C-alpha cells in the first residue's frame, strides 16, 4: 500500500471532501500560496482558488465567528487556527457560541463546523506555541474533540469531521506532520467514539494518542524485549465522544492502566479517564494503582533540555509500565 505523511493525508481528506461537497471550504491565516504555516493546505489554493481556500486576517475570534455564521446558514467551513494556543483569543466564539448554538436554539440550528488546529511541544516554540489544551474543550458540552496520530487515522477522522453536522475541534500535532504510514487509495471514513487498539497485549493497558502514540508503542516493544511484558496500546482517537467500553474491557483484561498525554497532568484527559475507570467495573480488576505519564506542571520552556525534561517520553512511559507491573 502507498505511504503518506500526516500532512499529505490531511490535505487529501480536505481535497476529497471539497470535490464531494461544494459547500466545504477552508479559511484561515496564511493558508493560500504559503499553504499554511505547517504546509497542510499546500497546493489546494492553486486547485480551488481563493474563494474556497480563503485567507483571513489575523483575527481568530472572527475566523471562528464567521465560520460559525457560515455553518449555520448552509456552508461547511473548515476553519484553521494556526496554533491551539490561539484558541484563547477565540474562546467566546468556540465555547459560548459554536458549542451551544444548537442547544440554545432548542435544536433549530446545525453547526457543521470543523476547527483544525495543532498543538504540542518538541521544537522549541516555547510557552505560547506548544500547549496541549484539548482537555479544555472536552469540558464543554457541545464540542467534539478529535486528536489523531497516524496518517490513516488523520485522513479518515478528518473526513468524518467534515461530514459531521456538529462543531468538531480537530487537534493535530506539529511534530507529527511528517509521520508516515499506509493510507489506502480508496475512500474510507473512521467513526467517532471508537478507540483503536494499536497493539494487543495482556499485562498492562497503555492509552496514548497524538505525538505520544509512537512513544507508547516504542515503550511497548522495549517492554517485551526487556521484561517480557505484553503491553496493550490503545489510541482513543476521539476524546469526545469517548469510547469508554474499549478501555474498560482492556483494563478488565490486563488489570493495569497507564495513561499518557503531553498536556500537563492536572486536569488533563488522563484525569478524566482515571475517573471513568474508577467509576466503572474495571475498578474491580485493577491490580495496581493507575499511572499517568504527562507533561510537567509548568509552562513549556524554550531551552531544549528543559523542554524535553518537561515532556513525557519513551523512558518515562517504560518506567510507569514497570511500576504498574511491579517490576523493579
| Minimum separation from the CB atom of position 268 to other proteins (A) | 23
Q: Output 52 or 215, the one with its CB closest to other proteins.
A: 52
Check if 34 is active-site.
no
Q: Which is nearer to other proteins, 102 or 292 (CB)?
A: 102
Q: How far is the CB of 60 from other proteins (least distance, A)?
A: 8
* Euclidean distance between CA atoms 67 and 94, whole angstroms: 10
Cell numbers placing 15 = 481535497
Nearest approach in angstroms of CB 160 to other proteins is: 14
Identified catalytic residue from 129, 173, 261, 309: 129
- In DSSP terms, 171 is beta-bridged to 117
Q: Encode the chain in three state secondary structure.
A: CCEEEHHHHHHHHHHHHHHHCCCEEEEECCCCCCCCCCCCCCCHHHHHCCCCEEECCCCHHHHHHHHHHHHHCCCEEEEEECCHHHHHHHHHHHHHHHCCHHHHCCCCCCCCCEEEEEECCCCCCCCCCCCCCHHHHHCCCCCEEECCCCHHHHHHHHHHHHHCCCCEEEEEECCCCCCEEECCCCCCCCCCCCCEEEECCCCEEEECCCCHHHHHHHHHHHHHHHHCCCEEEEECCEEECCCHHHHHHHHHHHCCEEEEEEEECCCCHHHHHHHHHHHCHHHHHCCCCCEEEEECCCCCCCCHHHHHHHCCCHHHHHHHHHHHCCCC
| Region near other proteins per CB under 8 A, out of 118-126, 137-145, 214-222, 309-317 | 137-145
Pattern 43-62, other proteins, x by CB under 8 A: --------x----xx-x-xx
Q: How far is the CB of 166 from other proteins (least distance, A)?
A: 5
Chain position carrying cell 478507540: 195
Q: Determine the interface stretch with other proteins among 101-109, 154-162, 175-183, 201-209 (rule: CB under 8 A).
A: 101-109
List the x/- string, 191-220, binding to other proteins by CB under 8 A. ------------------------------
Residues 68-87, mask of contacts with other proteins (x by CB under 8 A): xxxxxxxx-x----------
Q: Does 132 bind other proteins (CB under 8 A)?
A: no
Which of the stretches 29-37, 102-110, 257-265, 266-274 binds other proteins when contact is defined by CB under 8 A? 102-110
User: Is residue 91 a contact residue for other proteins (CB under 8 A)?
Assistant: no
Nearest distance in Å: CB 241, other proteins: 9
Whole-angstrom distance, CA of residue 264 vs CA of residue 269: 9
Choose the binding region for other proteins from 5-13, 96-104, 118-126, 130-138 (rule: CB under 8 A).
Answer: 96-104
One of 34, 104, 200, 287 touching other proteins (CB under 8 A) = 104
Residues that bind other proteins (CB under 8 A): 23, 25, 51, 56-57, 59, 61-62, 64-75, 77, 92-93, 96-97, 101-110, 141-142, 144, 164-166
Residues with catalytic roles: 129
Amino acid at each position: 500500500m502507498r505511504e503518506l505523511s500526516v500532512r499529505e493525508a490531511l490535505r487529501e481528506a480536505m481535497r476529497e471532501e471539497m470535490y464531494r461537497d461544494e459547500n466545504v471550504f477552508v479559511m484561515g491565516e496564511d493558508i493560500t500560496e504559503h499553504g499554511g504555516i505547517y504546509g497542510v493546505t499546500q497546493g489546494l489554493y492553486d486547485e480551488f482558488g481563493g474563494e474556497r481556500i480563503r485567507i483571513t486576517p489575523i483575527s481568530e475570534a472572527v475566523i471562528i465567528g464567521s465560520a460559525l455564521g457560515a455553518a449555520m446558514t448552509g456552508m461547511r467551513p473548515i476553519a484553521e487556527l494556526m496554533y491551539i494556543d490561539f484558541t484563547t483569543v477565540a474562546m467566546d466564539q468556540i465555547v459560548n457560541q459554536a458549542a451551544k448554538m444548537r442547544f440554545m436554539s432548542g435544536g433549530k440550528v446545525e453547526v457543521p463546523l470543523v476547527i483544525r488546529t495543532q498543538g504540542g511541544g518538541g521544537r522549541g516554540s516555547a510557552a505560547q506555541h506548544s500547549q496541549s489544551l484539548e482537555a479544555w474543550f472536552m469540558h464543554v458540552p457541545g464540542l467534539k474533540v478529535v486528536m489523531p496520530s497516524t496518517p490513516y487515522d488523520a485522513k479518515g477522522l478528518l473526513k468524518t469531521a467534515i461530514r459531521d453536522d456538529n462543531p468538531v475541534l480537530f487537534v493535530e500535532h506539529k511534530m507529527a506532520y511528517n509521520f508516515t504510514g499506509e493510507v489506502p487509495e480508496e475512500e474510507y471514513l473512521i467513526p467517532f467514539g471508537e478507540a483503536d487498539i494499536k497493539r494487543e497485549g495482556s499485562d498492562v493497558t497503555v492509552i496514548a494518542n497524538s505525538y505520544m502514540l509512537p512513544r507508547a508503542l516504542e515503550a511497548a516493544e522495549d517492554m517485551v524485549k526487556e521484561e517480557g511484558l505484553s503491553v496493550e496500546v490503545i489510541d482513543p482517537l476521539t476524546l469526545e465522544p469517548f469510547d469508554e467500553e474499549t478501555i474498560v474491557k482492556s483494563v478488565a483484561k490486563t488489570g493495569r492502566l497507564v495513561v499518557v498525554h503531553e498536556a500537563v497532568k492536572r486536569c488533563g484527559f488522563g484525569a478524566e479517564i482515571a475517573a471513568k475507570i474508577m467509576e466503572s467495573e474495571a475498578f474491580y480488576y485493577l491490580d495496581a494503582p493507575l499511572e499517568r505519564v504527562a507533561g510537567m506542571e509548568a509552562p513549556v520552556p524554550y531551552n531544549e533540555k528543559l523542554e524535553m525534561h518537561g515532556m513525557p517520553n519513551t523512558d518515562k512511559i517504560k518506567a510507569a509500565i514497570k511500576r504498574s507491573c511491579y517490576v523493579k
